[in-house]
Structure formats: structure tokens, C-alpha cells
Amino acid sequence: MEEIKQELMAQLENPVAFTIPVLGGIPVTVSVVVSWIIMAALTLAAILMTRNLKPVPGRAQLVLEMFVGLINNFCKDIIGPEWKRFAPWLGTVALYITCANLIGLVGLVPPTKNLNVTAALGLSSMAVIYTAAFRVHGLRGGLGQFLKPAPIMLPINLMEIAIRPLSLCMRLFGNVLAAFIVMELVKMVVPVALPVAFSLYFDIFDGVIQTIVFVFLTGIFIGEALEEE
């Protein structure tokens, strides 16, 4: 039992891959390196797949258009007329979280298993949401959004600034962490065949669901922030 615990704790560490020797040494964790790999793969795929877009789409282009159309329509529904400014952000987050959740399948450590990565995701989504409010409504209108639906809601709205990123961050982290631990335990008990079945649920299904939840909530928050009188 103690051995299993040791093993698990070791798996849950977020090891530093290397350190950049400036400013007294900047540590780069494995999560960040894996993120770079994901970014490189996504960018390469995007460049290759959008190299010659045609009005009559081929098979690869159809897949791209399905994805982009899905994100665009989702943003149109939830955010409204300003959707064009936010669709690329939500699409990027969706791609990144999906890849980060699923990259465990190819043997790399999922970056979303690192609390700091999900924290950054939550914080940047918050940044997008509140910048959107101020850019669309102006300074006064942006501040006015905190008095909605009634001025008495001000404390709650202020608390939400912290609660929303925290909940986004913790939900994603908790789900991925739980899936990771369950998978590790299953692998320890039955190393062959059975983990595949569990992996379908915990890695793929849950990974995709958490992506959808994260993007959906961010979209709803943006739509709320942009709401007119």
C-alpha cells in the first residue's frame, strides 16, 4: 500500500524539464514542454491543412470547416453579434485543452494534470471576459456590468472575479487528476487490456467533456459580460 502511494505521488509530481539560466534560473516544467509540442503540432497541422482552401472543400477541409463552423455557431448563439472577436480564442482553448487532455494516450504527461496550467487557463479566460466587457461597454459601462442585475449584487459580482477562474481551473484540474489517478490504479492492478476500456471513458470521454464544459462556461461568461441593458 505504501508502495502504491509512493508511486502515485511520484506520478503526480510536476518535474522540471530544464532551467533557463537567466534571472537566476527560469524553470521550465514538463507540462510546458508538452504544451510546446502540442502547439507545434497544432500549428503545423493548421498550416498544412489550410494551405490550399478551396470553395468546394475536400475531406480534410470539411473536417476543418466542421470544427470552425461548430465554434463559430456556438459563439454566435451564446455571445451574439460580437462573436467574431471571441471565436478564435474559444476555439484555441478548445483545441489546446482537448489535446492536453488526450495527449496521455500517446504516452506524454497531460499538461492539464498540472494545477498551474489550468490556473493559467482560468486566469486568461477571466482576462478575456473582463477585457471584453470594458472594450465593448467602455470604462463606465464595464464597471456598470458589476451592478447588474441590481446594485445589491455588487459584492457577489466582485467575488465572481475570483470565483470564476478558480472554479474553471479546479474543475478541469480535478477531473484530469482524478482520471489520471484512476487510470494509474487500474494499470497497477491489471496492466493488460482492461486499462484500454477505462481509458476510453476516463481519458477520451472525460477529456472531451471537460473541454466542452470549459469552453461553454467561458462562452457564457463572455456573453454575460457583453449583455446590453
116 CB burial (10 A radius; 0-12, 13-18, 19+) = middle
What SS3 class is residue 1? coil
Query: How many C-beta atoms lie closer than 10 Å to residue 185's C-beta?
Result: 13
State the Cα–Cα distance between residues 8 and 63, nearest whole angstrom: 38
Query: Is 46 a residue that touches other proteins (CB under 8 A)?
Result: yes
Instruction: Please tell me the count of residues contacting other proteins according to CB under 8 A.
Output: 49
Considering the complex, state which of residue 60 and residue 213 has its C-beta at the smaller distance from other proteins: 60
C-alpha cell at 122: 482560468
CB of 165 to other proteins, least distance (A): 11
C-alpha cell at 21: 539560466
CA-closest candidate to residue 224, choices 121, 125, 91, 98:
125
Considering the complex, state which of residue 20 and residue 196 has its C-beta at the smaller distance from other proteins: 20
Q: Which stretch binds other proteins (CB under 8 A): 21-29, 142-150, 192-200, 211-219?
A: 21-29
Q: Which residues bind other proteins (CB under 8 A)?
A: 9, 12-14, 26-29, 31-32, 35-36, 39, 42-43, 46-47, 49-50, 53-55, 57, 61, 64-65, 68-69, 71-72, 84, 87-89, 91-93, 95-96, 111, 114-117, 119-121, 123-124
